Structures are given as C-alpha cells and as structure tokens.
C-alpha cells in the first residue's frame, strides 16, 4: 500500500474531502469509496497529530485503538510481518515458520532488495549485521523450496481425488 499519512493536510482540504464524501449526488464505486474514506482518515490523522506534535508512540496507540474500536476487537495484537525479515524478532511470532511460508514471495522480494541495498551500503559504510544478512539470504533461498513443496502438495491432492 502506497498511501501515507498526510501531514500537509489543511482544515480546508479536509473539509473539501468530507464535503465530497457527504454529498448525496456524488457516487463512488465499491473500492473508490473505501480509498476516499481512507484518504480522509489519513488527512485528519496527519493534520491533528502535526498540530499537536504527538510522538510515534502516541500515534501507535491511536492507530491500534482506532482499529480495535472500529472492528469491535476486545483483545488481540497487531504484528508487523516486516519483522519476519529480521532474525531477532522471530521469537515474537507464534508459528514464524508457517508465516514465512505463507508470505515467502513478498519476504523473498523484500530480502532481495535489502541484500542489494546492503551491498551498496557496505561500499560506503558498515552494512547490515551478518546474522541479518544471512537471514535475508536464507529467505531468498527458501522461495524455490517452498514453491516446490506447494506444487508437490497440489499434485498429491489431485492424485488422491483421482
């Protein structure tokens, strides 16, 4: 998702967007209305947080509180799957291996980008910690193995049906 909090939003731009959304003559398709409402939320959040100078911790509390309240979640937690790219965070995930397998395409792509950037960084300064670099390489090497296992599983299940 390329959307970001708009810290340059103004009261005027927020009101304009809100007026567009509340105009009964303006009709949006199914996904566009979601995008417009998200844009309004991001603008409001960016404007108010910028005006009040809140910290990242406060922003995180607001983010998660909004999600839990709006979805009626009484107990739970959010996990950032980007942390699967770093070995020091793997213990915080229940079933990290299955999460890695389920998300291997994205993880391998991100790891490949990080390896490439790390190679550039090493020419100028220090690069990523060797354990982190090794983990990225491991994720990249896992993709073909996991894809092969998935294919074998699909073929075996087709044989069972026949």
Residue 110 and residue 50 share a domain: no
Residue 38's domain comprises 11-71
With respect to residue 4, please indicate whether it lies within any of the assigned structural domains. Answer: no
How many domains is the chain partitioned into structurally?
Answer: 2
With respect to residue 100, please indicate whether it lies within any of the assigned structural domains. Answer: yes
**pLDDT score, position 153:** 86
Residue 86 and residue 25 share a domain: no
Q: Averaged over 5-17, what is the pLDDT?
A: 94
**pLDDT score, position 62:** 94
**Inter-residue contact 111 to 137 (CB < 8 Å):** yes
147-159 pLDDT tens trace: 999 888 888 887 7
Which of 81-85, 93-97, 103-107, 124-128 shows the lowest per-residue confidence on average (mean pLDDT)?
124-128
Residue 53 and residue 123 share a domain: no
CA distance 49 to 57: 12
What pTM, to 2 d.p., does this model score?
A: 0.69
Phi, psi angle pair for 35, to nearest 5°: -65, -40
Residue 114 CB contacts under 8 Å (≥ 6 apart), including other chains: 85, 128, 136
Q: Averaged over 19-46, what is the pLDDT?
A: 93
| DSSP secondary structure letters along 61-80 | HHHHHHHHHHHT-SS-----
Residue 91 and residue 27 share a domain: no
**pLDDT score, position 162:** 64
With respect to residue 34, please indicate whether it lies within any of the assigned structural domains. Answer: yes
Q: pLDDT tier at 142 (50, 70, 90 boundaries)?
A: very high
**Of 34, 52, 71, which one is at a domain's C-terminal end?**
71
45-92 pLDDT tens trace: 999 999 999 999 999 999 999 999 999 999 988 889 999 999 999 999
**pLDDT score, position 1:** 56
With respect to residue 51, please indicate whether it lies within any of the assigned structural domains. Answer: yes
With respect to residue 76, please indicate whether it lies within any of the assigned structural domains. Answer: no
**Of 71, 104, 123, which one is at a domain's C-terminal end?**
71
**pLDDT score, position 121:** 83
Residue 47 and residue 18 share a domain: yes
Nearest to 48 by CA among 62, 64, 38: 62
CA distance 118 to 19: 46
């Amino acid at each position: 998702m390329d959307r970001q909090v708009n810290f340059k939003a103004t009261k005027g731009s927020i009101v304009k967007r809100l007026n567009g959304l509340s105009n009964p003559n303006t009709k949006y398709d199914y996904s566009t209305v979601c995008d417009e409402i998200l844009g309004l939320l991001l603008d409001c959040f960016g404007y108010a947080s910028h005006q009040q100078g809140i910290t990242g911790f406060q922003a995180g509390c607001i983010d998660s509180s909004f999600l839990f309240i709006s979805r009626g979640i009484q107990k739970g937690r959010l996990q950032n799957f980007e942390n699967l790219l770093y070995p020091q965070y793997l213990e915080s995930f229940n079933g990290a291996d299955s999460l890695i397998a389920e998300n291997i395409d994205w993880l391998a792509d991100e790891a490949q980008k990080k390896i490439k950037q790390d190679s550039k960084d090493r020419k100028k300064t220090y690069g990523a910690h060797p354990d982190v670099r090794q983990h990225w390489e491991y994720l990249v090497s896992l993709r073909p193995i996991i894809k092969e296992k998935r294919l074998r599983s699909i073929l075996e299940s087709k044989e069972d049906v026949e």
